[in-house]
Amino acid sequence: MNRELNQIVEKQFFSIKDKNFTLQCGKSLKDITIAYETFGRLNAKKNNAILILHALTKDSHAAGIYDHKDEKPGWWDVMIGPGKAIDTDIYFVICSNILGGCMGSTGPASIMPGKKRPYGMNFPMVTITDMVRVQKRLIDHLKIEKLLAVTGGSLGGMQVLEWSVRYPDMMESAIPIATTMKHSALSIAFNEVARQAITSDPNWNNGNYSQEKKPDMGLSVARMIGHITYLSDKSMRLKFGRKMQDKKDAPFTFDSKFQVESYLKYQGQKFVTRFDANSFLYITKAADYFDLEEQHGDGSPVDSFLNAKARFLVISYSSDWLYPTSESKAIVNALKKNRLDVSFCEIESEWGHDAFLLQDKRLDKMIKGFLASVYEKTEDN
């Protein structure tokens, strides 16, 4: 990475001072803080703003670096920046850490108002709807009446869909990537096994763990489980196959002999240094509870989008078995039956669900062209 070419960004914080911010579950929160970052500049017309919505384990740091000592840039730096697909020389980009997260936003690890201890499992259950309602308050705070686009992949894509039907007059376009209107039984099952790994860790202590004694083993295993679902069979065969770490090692032991075993352990160990176990529980449960059809369509995918007005670009990946192309096609079908302007593309890829996070000229070209077309139309109006 050439650090000199990366944009320097700063994490900012927005506070909601409502005495009681009522959540979908019926409970309320006080003094909500949301961490966010912005890239580029808002123009005089305020018609160039794009909201980026992050996936499960990401955060507000979507692009750029905090200083020139940073080892790596934000999680979607391949997409966001000067001259890139989401061009910060043209657009004003906003990305916030979701409610329930652990990267500066209010979540289970936050200190309870009037107390000296974290919420832990006293944190109320949050939903995708709650996350989107808080994001809307942030956009209001920034005095932006209408977003040029709202985009994100995976869990971020669920938020895009919720935005499109909850605040249809606040967005020109929507780009949901590798996502779904509701989790399948398979997705819920993987999430539940990951949660069980955390709650079975002796250090979890019903969510009342200390920073010195955290459920690292459980969280590490949860990450390993999740990471398998983000890849594809072909990508794992190409990258690892049945390669051994060191063929000179003594055979027939339970040590991590295969490269894929060591890779997963590394991913798990790295994850525990930056993520909170309770946040993982809450966010995965929010994803499982998400059901656009039930909440907005009374069980009908077509009726789910009755309020939507945005122009859509829906993108899926051929090797994504977590949220397969059939899920995206169901979204497209529902949008078309509502006579909405929708484009769709399945990108041929061998890298599985996480492909949207990788450099891809096809994705760049699609998003760059789509945004330019939407922006041109707003400039003409």
pLDDT digits (tens, 9 = 90+) for 121-154: 999 999 999 999 999 999 999 999 999 999 999 9
Question: Which CATH number does 3-182+291-380 carry?
Answer: 3.40.50.1820
Looking at the predicted structure, is the pLDDT value of residue 248 above 80?
no
227 counts as catalytic: no
pLDDT of residue 244: 81
320 counts as catalytic: yes
Residues facing residue 49 across a β-bridge: 92
User: Which CATH number is 183-289's, of 3.50.50.60, 3.40.190.10, 1.10.1740.110, 3.75.10.20?
Assistant: 1.10.1740.110
211 Ramachandran zone, left/alpha/beta (phi>0; psi -120 to 50): alpha
pLDDT of residue 42: 98
d(CA 228, CA 195): 15
How would you class 339 by CB atoms within 10 Å of its CB: exposed for 0-12, middle for 13-18, buried for 19 or more?
A: exposed
Average pLDDT over residues 12-39: 94
Beta strands 28-29 and 32-39 are unpaired
354 counts as catalytic: no
With tokens 């946040």, the residue in question is 279
For 328-354, how does the pLDDT look when each residue is reduced to its tens digit (9 = 90+)? 999 999 999 999 999 999 999 999 999
pLDDT of residue 3: 47
Spot the catalytic one: 154, 173, 187, 328.
154
Looking at the predicted structure, is the pLDDT value of residue 163 above 70?
yes
Spot the catalytic one: 61, 183, 296, 353.
353
Q: Give the 3-state secondary structure percentages of the chain, helix then strand then coil, rounded to 5.
A: 40, 15, 45
Amino acid letter for position 250: A
Residue 200 DSSP symbol = T
**pTM: predicted TM-score of the whole model, two decimal places:** 0.95
For 88-126, how does the pLDDT look when each residue is reduced to its tens digit (9 = 90+)? 999 999 999 999 999 999 999 999 988 989 999 999 999
Residue with the bigger pLDDT between 3 and 88: it is: 88
Looking at the predicted structure, is the pLDDT value of residue 4 above 60?
no
Looking at the predicted structure, is the pLDDT value of residue 168 above 50?
yes
For 46-79, how does the pLDDT look when each residue is reduced to its tens digit (9 = 90+)? 999 999 999 999 999 999 999 988 889 999 999 9
Looking at the predicted structure, is the pLDDT value of residue 255 above 80?
no
Do 3-182+291-380 and 183-289 fold alike per CATH? Answer: no
Spot the catalytic one: 59, 320, 354, 360.
320
State phi, psi for 46 to the nearest 5 degrees: 55, 40
Domain coordinates in residue numbering, the chain:
3-182+291-380, 183-289
pLDDT of residue 1: 45
